[in-house]
Amino acid sequence: MSTVYDIIVIGGGASGLMVAGGAALRGKKVLLLEKNKQLGEKLKITGGGRCNVTNAEEDMRILLKNYGDAEPFLYSLFAQFSNKDTVIFFESRGLPIVVQARKRAFPHTENAHDVYRVMEAYCTHPLITIKINSPVQKIVTQGNKITQVIVKGVIYEGRSVVLATGGMSHPETGSTGDGFKWLTDLGHSVEKPTPSIVPLAVSDTWVKSLAGVSLSFMKISFYVEGKRKFYKIGKVLFTHFGLSGPLILNAAKAVGDLLHDGLVTATIDMYPDTEFDVLERKILSVFDAHKNKTFKNIFKECVPDGMVDAVVSLLPATLSETKVHSISKEDRKKIIHLLKSMPVTITGLMGYDRAVVADGGVPLDEIDTKTMRSKKINNLFVTGDLLHINRPSGGFSLQLCWTTGYVAGENA
């Protein structure tokens, strides 16, 4: 006779682990099915390996505003498990949390594996059976109830089923969108996922030649057909395909919208807090101090580290060898103009393989946001990246996983 579990959790990522551990503490018999050889593969690469585990904003209204249209749905969920509870959760399990710039909270070890280890320990419980290498292939329903979950021909039965299979970003970690297909089959209206927190692809060779360089304080302005639409100030990382870093990731959704309207270009201002004429005076004083040197020999004093070759590549070739005293006023203005607006052409958003988060998923009005129960299938609960909730980077995604996972674990 096959065992009937109280809860079958499909997916052993951040939210699935939270569900399983919490449910076992309530005395529920849990089966956790994970298709990978290991649990928590995406969790282990979060935050560039440092894991931005939550955001420490103390004002709940300000915190929830980051989730856009989902804000009103989230109050009752966060009343049950908030960002403060996340900090208590990890600290009480021996992992102190530190808060860094923009209220991003990290484990003090800055090691995502430590976060994973806490979750692994949380799920090491006699009531939890973990089956890795177990890709769920089919979900069987009768009426509006799931009756069976099938893995490689083996049938599992559970009183409740929690779908925690993640979204579409970084599919090599296991989240390949299986949950979206099942949810559609089960009668949910799934918003089509598109990469939302994702780097930008550009066509400019000067950008690609800077792969690995980052500018910690710059302003990037975005244009459609030459008309400025918006700008952001912050850190940019140059990569071999284009632009990344927190500022870019958080601008990507808006840039994606602009791409529907025409040619999208951008300009990068390397000195956002210095007006054109002030910068010109600074450059003139560098020129005055080195009148007889060639421009290429003094240019590094005028340009942020790592940017010299890129700027020079965009200036007339003859300028490099020109003695500083012979540089014309017109060429000087050209140089300053470039420092304040390096031109970039955006060709698109990178794909799921590079996305931190892809939006899309089940709209929250199809979920009971006090319990995470599906309004279409009585014994189904949905967590984490399967939900259609837009948010920026900064710990907001994992917080959603901890919150929705906790609530599903309490109610399934």
Ligand X SMILES: Cc1cc2nc3c(=O)[nH]c(=O)nc-3n(C[C@H](O)[C@H](O)[C@H](O)COP(=O)(O)OP(=O)(O)OC[C@H]3O[C@@H](n4cnc5c(N)ncnc54)[C@H](O)[C@@H]3O)c2cc1C
Instruction: Quote the CA–CA distance of 124 and 194 in Å, as a whole number.
Output: 35
Closest C-alpha among 362, 354, 363, 371 to residue 405:
371
Least distance to ligand X, CB of residue 135, Å = 4
Q: Interacting stretch for ligand X, rule CB under 6 A, among 39-47, 81-89, 122-130, 303-311? A: 39-47
- Nearer to ligand X among residue 166 and residue 193 (C-beta): 166
**Residue 379 binds ligand X, judged by CB under 6 A:** no
- Nearer to ligand X among residue 22 and residue 174 (C-beta): 174
Among positions 8, 41, 245, 374, the unique one binding ligand X when judged by CB under 6 A = 41
**Residue 57 binds ligand X, judged by CB under 6 A:** no
Q: Interacting stretch for ligand X, rule CB under 6 A, among 35-43, 122-130, 211-219, 224-232? A: 35-43
Residue in this structure with the two tokens 């292939």, named with its chain if needed: 137
**Residue 384 binds ligand X, judged by CB under 6 A:** yes
Instruction: Quote the CA–CA distance of 239 and 230 in Å, as a whole number.
Output: 22
Instruction: Quote the CA–CA distance of 176 and 182 in Å, as a whole number.
Output: 12
Q: Interacting stretch for ligand X, rule CB under 6 A, among 40-48, 285-293, 325-333, 371-379? A: 40-48
- Nearer to ligand X among residue 100 and residue 285 (C-beta): 100
List beta partners, residue 361: 191
Among positions 21, 36, 319, 409, the unique one binding ligand X when judged by CB under 6 A = 36
Instruction: Quote the CA–CA distance of 133 and 145 in Å, as a whole number.
Output: 26
Distance from CA of residue 56 to its chain's centroid? 17
**Residue 43 binds ligand X, judged by CB under 6 A:** yes
Instruction: Quote the CA–CA distance of 60 and 66 in Å, as a whole number.
Output: 10
Secondary structure of residue 137 in the 3-state scheme: strand
b/e per residue 95-123 (b: at least 16 CB within 10 A): bebeeeeebbbbbeeebbbbbbbbbbebb
Q: Interacting stretch for ligand X, rule CB under 6 A, among 94-102, 159-167, 208-216, 367-375? A: 159-167
Instruction: Quote the CA–CA distance of 301 and 289 in Å, as a whole number.
Output: 11
| Helix (H), strand (E) at residue 118 | helix 112-122
**Residue 24 binds ligand X, judged by CB under 6 A:** no
**Residue 372 binds ligand X, judged by CB under 6 A:** no
Contact residues toward ligand X (CB under 6 A) are 10-16, 33-36, 41-43, 45-47, 51-52, 135-136, 164-166, 169-170, 173-175, 178, 356-357, 384-385, 395-398, 401
